[in-house]
Homo-oligomer: A and B are copies of this chain.
Amino acid sequence: MTEFSLPPIQTTARDDAVLKALAGFVMREKLEPGERLPTERILAERLKVSRNTVREALTRWEGLGLVERRQGSGTYLKAAVSLDMLHMPLTLAGGNDFTGLMRTLEIRRALEAEAAALCAVRADEDDLAEIERKLDIMEEEFLNRAGMSSEEDWEFHQAIYRACGNPLFEQIIAAMHELFHRFWEHPLGVRDFGHASFPYHRTMFNCIAAHDPEGARAEALKLIATVEDDLKRGAANLKLSDRK
């Protein structure tokens, strides 16, 4: 075990101080997302606080999505942390019905279009290569299984958000995506959900690769429109089968 440069905590506001110290530690050690940070017991010992206090602090970070705990394994960094980061926790009420889903889709339409346009302007060769790689994987899955693979589809979109130069896009849309998937567990009865969106992935990528922001925006809007249609179709099915 290496030597950690973690000086003991001073006085009140324990768990906040713990987080500050931890953030400083992460920066000094240049820990990146995916890496494991010290165990709770070690942190408690080094910071001279009880393990419970360490746990409350880590619970806060976990709630903010900065960290992931795996029992029996350890606590892992999930996002870049720094001393000067700001938190903007949003809680959206009532997203579990059809109306709520359509609302998140409206947000996603706005952000997806903007991200695609920004990406067309800013993506460099490496970004484009990565995006096309994900696109190839997705298309292959589509042909093999004759249907959309939501996992590979999501990877493709994420690659675009990452290349657009603004991490907020990925953060916001990722939250929406999670909500969306809660519904795909119990699909709306639409078998080939997302099927119609398939061709627009390639056309959108072509616009991005050609550094054509307005074209990319237009293709992104078409893509979302097909999803909205699927959703409406599913809602109609649901309404029919709901009659008692």
Contact = CB atoms under 8 A, between A and B. Distances in A.
A55 interface: yes
Contacts of A185: 7
Nearest to A182: B86
Interface string A61-101: 01111100001000000011110111111111111100010
A134 interface: no
A9 interface: no
B175 A88 contact: yes
Contacts of A3: 145, 149
B171 A90 contact: yes
B91 A179 contact: no
Interface string A145-176: 10001000000000000000011110110011
A94 B171 CA distance: 13
Contact of A93 (B85, B104, B106): B85
Nearest to A71: B12
Interface residues of A, number: 58
Contacts of A15: 59
A214 interface: no
Contact of A96 (B12, B63, B84): B84
A150 to B, nearest CB: 10
B113 A91 contact: no
A84 B95 contact: yes
A103 B168 contact: yes
Contact of A166 (B79, B107, B118, B175): B107
B107 A169 contact: yes
Interface of A: 3, 7, 12, 15, 52, 55-56, 59-60, 62-66, 71, 79-82, 84-96, 100, 103-104, 106-107, 109-111, 113-115, 118, 145, 149, 166-169, 171-172, 175-176, 178-179, 182, 185
15 contacts: A3-B145, A15-B59, A59-B60, A64-B64, A86-B175, A87-B92, A88-B179, A89-B90, A90-B171, A91-B171, A93-B167, A104-B168, A106-B168, A107-B114, A107-B166
